[in-house]
C-alpha cells in the first residue's frame, strides 16, 4: 500500500464540488515521522466527591497519561462539621456527644481519648471496672470498624460477597454495643470519670454468643479471600510504601505495621488496663495493599483475644467516680424502649432531697469546673494514633479541643501509593488507607 499521510486528505473537483478521498497509510510511517500525535495529551479526572469509591465525601484529582496516574491530589472539606469548635460552647460532659461523631466508625475511641484527657486535668481516673469496660467496648468497636473496611473495600474491588459478609459481621458487633450502651453508633457512653452505665445483667451470655460468631466470620474471610487469585492480584505489589516513607509522612496504625514496624500504643505506651492482657501486634513487611489486608485481618483476631481477657478480668465495682462534683448522683438507667431514662430512675432522682435535685440539675446543665491547664492523650485507634488535646481555662467548658486524627494524616500517603500506578489501583489504595472523612473534616 502506498504511504499516504492520513492527516492530509487528497481532493478532486467534481460537478458536485470538491470530493476528499482519505486513503490508508502505513502505521509505522505515520508515527515514525512525527511521533505519537497523542503522546502529550493528558487527562484530568475527578474521583468524587460523591463517587462511592472515594470512601465518603472525598475528592481525588488524578492526572492521567493513558491509564497511568502521574499525579494524585486529595481534596477534603466537603463534610466539615465544626465539631472541635462546637465543643467550646458545651460543658465537658456534653462535648462527648459531639466528639463521638468525628470518626463515626470508631466513636468509642474518640470518647475514651477525650475523657482520659479531661480526667488528667481533674487529677482523677475512672474506676477499674469502668477502665475494663472501656477497653472491652473499644476492642469491639475496633473489630466493627475493620469489618466496615473489609466490606467497603471488597465492594469497591467487585467482591460483593466480601461486602455482604462484612456488613453482616459488623451488624453483630453493633448488636452487642447496643446492648451495652443503648445505641448502635455515636454512643456518648464513655464519660469523664467513667462510663454512663454498667453492663447488662446477661452480658456474659451475649458476649459468648457474639465471640463465637466472630470466630466463624474470621474463618469465612480466610476461606473467601486469602487464597482468591483475583483478590491477590488486585492487592499484591500495589500501593507500596516502606517504613522510612511511612514515618516521613506520619503514618501510624495498620499502615505503619504493614510496612514492618510493630508500633502499637497499646504495647509501646500502655493505657487503661492494656498492660494486663496477652496479645500480639500483627506486622507484615511487604508494605503493599496485601500487607494491609493481612494486618487488619490479624488485628481483628487479636482484638477478640483482648475482649475475652477483659471479660474474665471484670470485677464488681463502681463504673463512675464517686466524687459527686463530677459523677452524676444516680447512674443512668435506660428505659424498656431503649430511649431515655426509665421511670424508676426519674422517681429515684425526684425522691432525693431538694438540695440533691438542684445539684443534679446544675451538674447536668452547667457541668463541673475543670482546673486550668492542658492535657494530650494518644491512644491506638483502628486507623492509627488518635490524639486529643484538651485545654481548660478553669470554667465548665473546654477552652480548646483539638484532635490528631489518623485519617487526616493517612490521606497524605495517597500520592505515594498511587502515582506511577494504574487508575484502577487508586481505588484499591484508597480502600487500604481506610479513611473516614468525619475525622478529616471535623
pLDDT in tens, 78-130: 888 899 999 999 999 999 999 999 999 999 999 999 999 999 999 999 999 99
C-alpha–C-alpha distance, residues 203 and 104, integer Å: 24
For the chain, how many structural domains are there in total?
2
- Give the cell for residue 72: 494524585
* Same domain? 285 vs 418: yes
* Same domain? 28 vs 128: no
C-alpha–C-alpha distance, residues 66 and 423, integer Å: 9
Structural domain contains residue 286? yes
* Same domain? 141 vs 263: yes
Bridge partners of 391, per DSSP, are 374, 400
* Same domain? 17 vs 91: no
Please name which of 178, 243, 217 lies closest in space to residue 304, comparing C-alpha atoms.
Answer: 217
C-alpha–C-alpha distance, residues 128 and 253, integer Å: 26
Distances (CA, A) of 293 to 164, 168, 202, 404: 17, 19, 35, 24
Mean pLDDT for the chain overall: 87
Q: Which residue has the cell 466539615?
A: 80
Using a 10 angstrom Cβ sphere, with 0-12 exposed, 13-18 middle and 19 or more buried, the burial of residue 374 is middle
pLDDT for 297? 96
Structural domain contains residue 55? no
Side-chain-side CA neighbours of 142 within 13 Å: the count stands at 30
| Percent helix / strand / coil, the chain, rounded to 5 | 50, 15, 40
In this model, does residue 5 exceed pLDDT 50?
Answer: no
Structural domain contains residue 150? yes
pLDDT for 45? 86
Structural domain contains residue 186? yes
How do residues 244-273 score in pLDDT, each as one tens digit?
A: 999 999 999 999 999 999 999 999 999 999
* Same domain? 375 vs 315: yes
Distances (CA, A) of 197 to 245, 272, 410: 44, 18, 34
Band (332; pLDDT cuts 50, 70, 90): low
* Same domain? 310 vs 435: yes
Strands (E) in 66-121, as ranges, are: 68-75
* Same domain? 142 vs 288: yes
Structural domain contains residue 51? no
* Same domain? 33 vs 93: no
Structural domain contains residue 163? yes
C-alpha–C-alpha distance, residues 170 and 163, integer Å: 11
CATH code of residue 204: 1.10.645.10
Q: What is the CA radius of gyration of the chain?
A: 28
| Helices and strands of the chain, counted as H and E runs | 18, 10
Strands (E) in 172-331, as ranges, are: 190-191, 194-195
What mean pLDDT is predicted for residues 165-182?
Answer: 95
Q: Which residue has the cell 509505522?
A: 28
C-alpha–C-alpha distance, residues 411 and 293, integer Å: 17
* Same domain? 4 vs 88: no
Is 176 in contact with 206 (CB distance < 8 Å)?
A: yes
What mean pLDDT is predicted for residues 300-305?
Answer: 97
Using a 10 angstrom Cβ sphere, with 0-12 exposed, 13-18 middle and 19 or more buried, the burial of residue 75 is middle
* Same domain? 196 vs 103: yes
- Give the cell for residue 114: 477525650
Task: List the domain range (segments joined by +) for residue 299.
Answer: 82-327+368-440
Structural domain contains residue 361? no
Percent residues over pLDDT 90 in the chain = 66
In this model, does residue 46 exceed pLDDT 90?
Answer: no
What mean pLDDT is predicted for residues 394-406?
Answer: 95
Structural domain contains residue 70? no
* Same domain? 118 vs 244: yes
* Same domain? 86 vs 31: no
Amino acid at each position: 500500500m502506498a504511504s499516504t499521510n492520513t492527516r492530509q486528505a487528497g481532493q478532486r473537483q467534481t460537478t458536485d464540488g470538491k470530493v476528499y478521498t482519505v486513503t490508508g497509510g502505513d502505521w509505522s510511517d505515520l508515527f515514525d515521522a512525527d511521533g505519537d500525535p497523542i503522546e502529550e495529551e493528558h487527562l484530568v479526572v475527578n474521583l468524587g466527591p460523591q463517587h462511592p469509591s472515594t470512601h465518603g465525601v472525598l475528592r481525588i484529582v488524578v492526572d492521567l497519561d493513558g491509564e497511568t496516574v502521574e499525579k494524585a491530589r486529595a481534596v477534603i472539606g466537603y463534610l466539615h462539621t465544626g465539631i472541635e469548635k462546637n465543643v467550646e460552647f458545651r460543658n465537658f460532659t456534653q462535648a462527648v456527644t459531639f466528639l463521638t461523631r468525628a470518626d463515626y466508625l470508631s466513636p468509642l475511641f474518640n470518647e475514651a481519648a477525650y475523657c482520659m484527657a479531661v480526667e488528667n486535668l481533674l487529677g482523677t481516673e475512672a474506676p477499674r471496672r469502668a477502665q475494663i469496660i472501656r477497653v472491652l467496648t473499644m476492642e469491639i468497636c475496633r473489630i466493627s470498624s475493620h469489618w466496615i473496611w473489609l466490606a467497603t473495600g471488597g465492594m469497591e474491588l467487585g467482591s460483593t460477597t466480601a461486602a455482604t459478609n462484612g456488613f453482616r459481621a459488623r451488624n453483630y458487633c453493633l448488636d452487642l454495643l447496643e446492648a451495652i450502651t443503648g445505641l448502635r453508633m455515636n454512643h456518648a457512653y464513655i464519660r469523664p470519670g467513667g462510663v454512663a452505665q454498667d453492663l447488662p445483667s446477661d452480658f456474659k451470655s451475649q458476649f459468648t454468643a457474639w465471640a463465637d460468631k466472630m470466630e466463624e466470620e474470621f474463618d469465612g474471610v480466610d476461606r473467601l479471600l486469602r487464597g482468591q487469585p483475583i483478590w491477590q492480584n488486585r492487592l499484591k505489589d500495589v500501593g507500596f510504601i516502606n517504613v522510612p516513607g511511612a514515618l516521613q509522612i506520619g503514618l501510624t496504625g495498620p499502615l505503619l505495621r504493614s510496612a514492618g514496624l510493630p508500633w502499637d500504643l497499646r504495647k509501646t505506651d500502655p493505657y487503661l488496663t492494656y498492660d494486663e492482657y496477652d496479645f500480639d501486634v500483627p506486622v507484615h513487611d511487604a508494605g503493599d495493599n496485601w500487607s494491609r489486608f493481612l494486618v487488619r485481618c490479624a488485628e481483628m483476631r487479636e482484638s477478640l483475644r483482648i475482649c475475652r481477657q477483659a471479660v474474665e478480668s471484670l470485677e464488681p465495682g463502681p463504673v463512675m467516680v464517686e466524687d459527686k462534683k463530677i459523677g452524676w448522683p444516680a447512674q443512668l438507667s435506660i428505659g424498656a424502649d431503649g430511649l431515655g431514662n426509665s421511670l424508676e430512675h426519674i422517681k429515684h432522682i425526684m425522691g432525693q432531697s431538694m438540695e440533691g435535685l438542684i445539684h443534679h440539675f446544675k451538674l447536668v446543665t452547667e457541668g463541673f469546673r475543670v482546673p486550668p491547664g492542658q492535657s494530650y492523650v494518644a491512644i491506638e485507634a483502628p486507623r492509627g494514633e488518635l490524639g486529643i488535646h484538651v485545654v481548660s481555662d478553669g470554667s465548665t467548658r473546654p477552652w480548646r479541643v483539638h484532635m490528631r486524627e489518623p485519617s487526616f494524616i493517612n490521606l497524605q500517603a495517597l500520592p505515594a501509593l498511587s502515582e506511577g500506578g494504574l487508575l484502577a489501583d487508586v481505588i484499591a489504595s484508597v480502600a487500604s488507607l481506610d479513611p473516614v472523612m468525619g475525622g478529616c473534616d471535623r
